[in-house]
């Protein structure tokens, strides 16, 4: 039986109504699921969603993640929020290095490293997104690019920094656009990442959670999760509609936890 983890990234979507409706509906089925779920709503709603999750008694099944943090813990940085603030309200995870941040906010490896360090110092698990552009994919550079992004962490902080870290492989060209991606291709990349980590630490290479994200939906979820080195999925668009998300969760439960 696989130990799967499912992450839902709401990006810049949702409101209080959606949160109430979403958690209410999921609360009727969530006790059937034998895998954990993490939801990353917009930062503004983290605290509210946490209260709604508690109200519906789903806090043993759903954890929350921030979609981003600042590279500082406090100070004159208008509009930002910090790892310390997340810790203060009891948030356990934060996505860093998401493709949207790289594309629209020019985030590079040095920024991602700073955020990673701040999260670790607050004991918040980073969900470290890595992935290649379309051009890098076409030039067969995917593995080199992904490994460089992980090496950025290992070289600066050591391999043990990857304990309690979730790696999310998200090809930038396959996010939010219904791309049909071959699960065998994803497996190849996940396996290359694991083999790279093996050079540093066997246990970490075996146990690190490597998620896949990029246009995951009801149709492709099973074939993706069947691949041995894929530990779960990070879902954007297809997780925003609660009926559709529950459909995906049911497929996972039925196909991977039926015995």
What three-state secondary structure class fits 128? strand
Q: Which of 160, 146, 159, 149 is nearest to 229 (CA)?
A: 146
What is the number of other CB atoms lying within 10 angstroms of the CB of residue 219? Answer: 11
181 DSSP 8-state letter: -
Binding mask 207-236 for ligand PEP (x = CB under 6 A): ------xxxx-----------------xxx
> Is 170 labeled as catalytic in the residue annotation?
yes
Q: How far apart are the first and last CA of the chain?
A: 9
125 binds ligand PEP (CB under 6 A): no
Phi, psi (deg, nearest 5) at residue 139: -90, 15
Q: C-beta of 244: minimal distance to ligand PEP in Å?
A: 11
CB closest to ligand PEP, residue no: 236
> Residue 233's beta-bridge partner residues?
6, 212
| Burial tier of 216 (Cβ tally within 10 Å: 0-12, 13-18, 19+) | buried
Size of the site for ligand PEP (CB under 6 A): 14
On whether the CB atoms of residues 199 and 242 are closer than 8 A, the answer is no
Structure tokens at 122: 């607050």
Q: Would residue 98 show up in a list of annotated catalytic residues for this protein?
A: yes
Q: Is 248 in the site for ligand PEP (CB under 6 A)?
A: no
CB of 252 to ligand PEP, least distance (A): 15
Closest approach of ligand PEP to the CB of residue 235, in Å = 5
Annotated catalytic residue within 28, 80, 107, 170 = 170
Q: Does the protein bind ligand PEP through residue 87 (CB under 6 A)?
A: no
Write the binding mask 159 to 178 for ligand PEP: x where contact by CB under 6 A, - elsewhere. -----------x----xx--
Nearer residue to ligand PEP within complex by CB, 161 or 235: 235
What residues make contact with ligand PEP under the rule CB under 6 A? 9, 11, 170, 175-176, 213-216, 234-238
Residue numbers annotated as active site = 98, 170
């Amino acid at each position: 039986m696989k130990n799967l983890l499912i992450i839902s990234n709401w990006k810049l979507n949702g409101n209080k109504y959606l949160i109430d409706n979403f958690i209410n509906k999921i609360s009727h089925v969530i006790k059937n699921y034998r895998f954990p779920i993490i939801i990353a709503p917009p930062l503004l709603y983290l605290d509210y969603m946490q209260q709604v999750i508690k109200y519906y008694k789903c806090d043993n099944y759903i954890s929350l993640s921030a979609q981003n943090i600042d590279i500082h813990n406090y100070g004159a940085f208008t509009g930002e929020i910090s790892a310390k603030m997340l810790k203060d309200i009891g948030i356990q995870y934060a996505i860093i290095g998401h493709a949207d941040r790289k594309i629209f906010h020019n985030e590079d490896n040095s920024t991602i490293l700073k955020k990673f360090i701040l999260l670790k110092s607050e004991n918040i698990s980073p969900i470290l997104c890595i992935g290649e552009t379309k051009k890098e994919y076409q030039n067969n550079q995917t593995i080199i690019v992904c490994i460089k992004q992980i090496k950025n962490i290992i070289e600066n902080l050591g391999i043990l920094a990857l304990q309690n870290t979730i790696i999310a492989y998200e090809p930038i060209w396959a996010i939010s656009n219904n791309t049909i991606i071959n699960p065998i291709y994803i497996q190849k990349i996940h396996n290359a990442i694991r083999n790279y980590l093996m050079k540093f630490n066997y246990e970490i290479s075996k146990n690190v959670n490597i998620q896949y994200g990029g246009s995951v939906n009801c149709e492709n979820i099973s074939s993706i999760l069947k691949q041995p080195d894929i530990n779960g999925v990070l879902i954007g668009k297809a997780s925003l509609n609660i009926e559709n998300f529950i459909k995906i969760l049911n497929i996972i439960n039925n196909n991977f936890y039926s015995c």
